Amino acid sequence: MNSKASVLQQAEELIKPLASQHVPKEGTQVEAIIDQWLHAVATDSQFFTNPAISEPSIIKNEVITTLKAHGLYESRLQFWSEVFEHLPLKTPQEPSFRFIDLFAGIGGVRLGFQKVGGACVFSSEFDKHAQQTYKNNHGEIPFGDITYIEPTHIPDHEVLLAGFPCQPFSHAGLKLGIEDTRGTLFHNIARIIEEKQPKFALLENVKGLVSHDKGYTLKVILKTLTDIGYSCNISKDLIESGTAKQIQIEAKKMILKSVDFGVPQNRQRIYIVLWKDGLIDTFKYPEPLRVATRVSDILGEEPCEKLTISDRLWAGHQRRKIENKAKGKGFGYGLVTPESEYTNTISARYYKDGSEILLAQKGKNPRKISTREAARLQGFPDDFLPSKSNTQAYKQFGNSVTVPVIYALASQIKKSME
């Protein structure tokens, strides 16, 4: 057999002409299709395909026949090894279900669902830096802008995953149907759900979604999805005719805290779990693990001196804290010690000045956490490869999810599918 790198390189070259025909009209590189096709061969999953050109099963057979003819494919397991063996975080060899990873970032959600036996069959993320980190860790370039992807082209899957930006909906003459959500990223998600009919969907968002636009944004999301045949733990009657306040009370039960799942971070996010009508009655959200956490759990041995903030920055943080307090505007920076139970939420802007999480140090100014510590604060395993750019790495971990929370949700979703 040829060497590992060259098998993949040869396979990529061979299928490029076929893959080029299926590239969406904008936003996606042909490499995304090549990578995701090769992964679909390895996990025996459906291909992303433009059906006007070919059926997914026909094009898949064509690809496998070509690979065989060139001595690159002997068996599915041999091919799986070629594709995944060199990656630290692998897609399961014998997946028990398939999922798609929308607004994928660096694939934190993917890690949680892979761990319970799922295989990713389509990922989309349009930020070039996040795409590169995704490729380094998961072996595939995600598709680009989701607004250019036709739902009919997406492979079949049982679970749809999306941590999407929170945007307001127009109030103009709404019947709260799918068409009324046009022009928002939620509209693209709803269209994919309507077309592909996954058994489950997990929508992750900031806690503020519950009160966003006085509860209207959440109501539109829930009403749209229940109208196309999906249920969640809030009853259809309440979504249809309850007050914003009543819906908010129920929605708050979908908020989980990262610190309850073994990581020392006070992150709170809403996780809306939806399922096809009739599949289950209610979804059992994961219970807190009740394990003690300490900030020291995530700290590295020897912090780099560069992490200590300058006198100027530290003085600025202290000044703003006093000013904010006087204006009754919260408390500014967050200072912790290794003994603290948890930190504030890490955000995508952490790289700027580290204000939300500063670690007290004896005899000197506080320091920022390192990118590896940021990874641990989000529950990423130590073999995850962060972006080489520190700015990008902080941004990507701040934007991501807490993997153990996703793993707990994935375990419950998997149980519900059995």
Ligand X SMILES: C[S@@+](CC[C@H](N)C(=O)[O-])C[C@H]1O[C@@H](n2cnc3c(N)ncnc32)[C@H](O)[C@@H]1O
User: Could you say whether residue 44 binds ligand X (CB under 6 A)?
Assistant: no
108 belongs to the binding site for ligand X (CB under 6 A): yes
Using CB under 6 A as the binding rule, whether residue 125 contacts ligand X is answered as yes
405 binds ligand X (CB under 6 A): no
The token duo for 332 is 């500014």
User: Which residues have CB under 8 Å from 28's CB, separation 6+?
Assistant: 143, 144, 145, 148, 149
- DSSP structure class, residue 178: G
Comparing CB distances to ligand X, the nearer of 272 and 358 is 272
Q: Does 159 participate in binding ligand X (rule CB under 6 A)?
A: no
CB atoms within 10 A of CB 331: 11
The token duo for 29 is 């590189």
Per CB under 6 A, the list member of 40, 119, 121, 130 interacting with ligand X is: 130
- How many of the chain's residues bind ligand X (CB under 6 A)? 21
Which of these is catalytic: 120, 166, 232, 304? Answer: 166
Helix (H) or strand (E) holding 97, with range, is strand 97-102
The reply to whether 256 sits near ligand X by the rule CB under 6 A is no
List the interface residues with ligand X, window 181-200 (CB under 6 A): 185
Distance CA 371, CA 355 (A): 15
State phi, psi for 194 to the nearest 5 degrees: -60, -40
Under the criterion CB under 6 A, does residue 89 sit at the interface with ligand X? no
Using the contact rule CB under 6 A, the part of the chain among 74-82, 140-148, 190-198, 359-367 near ligand X is 140-148
Q: Hey, CA dihedral for 258, 206, 218, 127, is it positive or negative? A: negative
Q: Which is nearer to ligand X, 109 or 270 (CB)?
A: 109
Report if residue 106 touches ligand X, rule: CB under 6 A.
Answer: yes
386 binds ligand X (CB under 6 A): no
- Please report whether residue 370 would count as binding ligand X according to CB under 6 A: no
Does 347 bind ligand X (CB under 6 A)? Our answer is no
Q: Is the dihedral of CA 329, 332, 334, 335 positive or negative?
A: negative
- Region of 47-55, 122-130, 231-239, 308-316 interacting with ligand X (CB under 6 A): 122-130
> Which tokens sit at 409?
């949700």
Distances (CA, A) of 135 to 4, 20, 117, 123, 324: 17, 19, 20, 11, 42
Distance of CA 409 to the CA centre of its chain: 13
Which amino acid belongs to residue 339? E
Q: Judged by CB under 6 A, does residue 54 bind ligand X? A: no
Of the pair 79, 143, the CB lying nearest ligand X is at 143
- C-alpha distances (whole Å) from 157 to each of 368, 385, 392 are 41, 27, 31
C-alpha radius of gyration, the chain, whole number = 23
Within 300-319, the residues that bind ligand X by CB under 6 A are none
Q: Cα torsion for 327, 329, 330, 335, to the nearest 10°? A: -70
Q: Which of 165, 177, 288, 300 binds ligand X (CB under 6 A)?
A: 165
Q: Residue 108 or residue 215: which is nearer to ligand X going by CB?
A: 108
* DSSP code, position 351: H
Asked whether position 409 contacts ligand X by CB under 6 A, the answer is no
Which of 19, 42, 247, 401 binds ligand X (CB under 6 A)? It is 401
163 binding ligand X? (CB under 6 A): yes
124 binds ligand X (CB under 6 A): yes
Quick one: angle between helices 30-43 and 76-84, nearest 10? 130
Of 24, 56, 95, 105, the one binding ligand X by CB under 6 A: 105
Examine the residue annotation and report whether 232 is marked as an active-site residue of this protein. Answer: no
> Which residue number places its CB atom closest to ligand X?
105
Query: What residues make contact with ligand X under the rule CB under 6 A?
Result: 103-109, 124-127, 130, 145-147, 163, 165, 185, 399-401
Catalytic residues: 166
